[in-house]
Amino acid sequence: MKKDLVDTHCHLYLEDFSGDLEEVIIRALEEGVRRIYMPSIDSNHLQSMLDLQKTFNGTCYSMLGLHPCYVRENYREELDLIKNTIEKDQFIAIGEIGLDYYWDRSFDEQQMICFREQIDLAVQYSLPIVIHSRSSMDACIQVLQEKKSKSVRGIFHCFSGNLQNANDIIECGFLLGIGGVITYKNSGLAAVVADVPLDHLVLETDAPYLTPVPFRGKRNESSYLKYVVAKIAEVKNISEDEVAEVTTANANRVFNYNRF
C-alpha cells in the first residue's frame, strides 16, 4: 500500500491494548495508517483517551460522547459532564452515539434522549457525529431524517444494512463506516458495498472488536485495515490505492482534518 489510510473508529484506550500499545501504533504506521480516531464510550474512559491523544499527538484523535450501551440511570450526569467538557479539550467529533436495541432494552427511552441531545450538541459546536446502531437501523435513520434540516453530518459506523438503508443514510449527508464485517462471508455487506459509490465510504476497524479475516476471532488493530481495503478493492474491481486515496479524503473532509 502506497497511500495513506485513516482508521476512523478504534478503541485504543481499552485494556486490550494496555500491554503493547506502542507496538500497535508502530505497526499501524508501518501499514500506512496515518490517523486513528477514537470514539468515546463514557466518562470512565475519557482521561485515558485524552492521555493517548496527547502522547500520540497528530496520530490519535479523541471524540466525546456517551455510547448507547453505557446509557444507564446516571445518564443525566454523563450528559452534563459531556457538555462541561466539550470546550475544555480538543474533540474532533461527537461519538459514538446512537441506539443499541440488541443487548439491554430497559433504557430505550433514555438512549433516545441521549442520542437527540448529543446530536443537538454537535450542531451547536459544528462537529460531526459518529453513530452506533445495532438492531436499530430504522429508528436511527428516522432520527437522522428528522434532524436533517440542521445539517448534521458524520459517519454511520460499522454499517451493516441493506442498499436501501445505505441510500437513506447517504441521503441524510452521512458516510458509511466499513470494517472487518465486509470480510465475513455471511454478512452480505460485500454485495451492498459493491453498489455504493466510494465517495460515501470511510474505513474503520472498531478495534479491538470485529477483526477481519484472516484474523477473525483474535484482537483487532489498526494495521489490519489493509484487509478491509483489499476486500473493498476486490468487490468494486478497483485498485487498493484508489480505495485508500478516496476513503482517506472522505475521512479528512468529515473530520475537518486541518482544523487543529
User: Interface with Zn ion by CB under 5 A: which residues?
Assistant: 39, 96, 132, 206
Closer residue to Zn ion, CB minimum distance, 82 or 240: 82
Q: Specify the residue, 39 or 180, whose C-beta has the smaller distance to Zn ion.
A: 39
Nearer to Zn ion (CB atom), residue 39 or residue 128: 39
Comparison of 206 and 221: residue with beta carbon closer to Zn ion:
206
Please state the closest distance from residue 42 (CB atom) to Zn ion, in A.
12
Distance of CA 26 to the CA centre of its chain: 21
Q: CA–CA separation, 212 vs 205, rounded Å?
A: 8
Crossing angle between the packed helical segments 163-171 and 137-147, to the nearest 10 degrees: 20
- Tell me how far, at minimum, the Cβ of 131 lies from Zn ion, in Å: 8
User: How far, rounded to the nearest angstrom, does the alpha carbon of residue 93 sit from its chain's CA centroid?
Assistant: 10
Closer CB to Zn ion, 152 or 207, in the complex:
207
Secondary structure, 3-state, 165-232? HHHHHHHCCEEEEECHHHHCHHHCHHHHHHCCCHHHEEECCCECCCCCCCCCCCCCCHHHHHHHHHHH
User: Shortest Cβ distance from residue 2 to Zn ion (Å)?
Assistant: 28
- For residues 5 and 50, what is the distance between their CA atoms, to the nearest angstrom? 22
Q: Which is nearer to Zn ion, 99 or 243 (CB)?
A: 99
CB of 203 to Zn ion, least distance (A): 14
Residue closer to Zn ion, measured from CB, 32 or 208: 208
C-alpha cell at 83: 457538555
Taking the complex as a whole, the smallest distance from the CB of residue 238 to Zn ion amounts, in Å, to: 27
Task: Name the residue number minimizing CB distance to Zn ion.
Answer: 132
C-beta of 11: minimal distance to Zn ion in Å? 6
Q: How far is the CB of 208 from Zn ion (least distance, A)?
A: 10
Three-state secondary structure call for residue 134: strand
What residues contact 89, with CB distance under 8 A and at least 6 apart? 50, 62, 64
Packed helices 75-85 and 108-124: angle between N→C axes, nearest 10 degrees: 10
d(CA 128, CA 122): 6
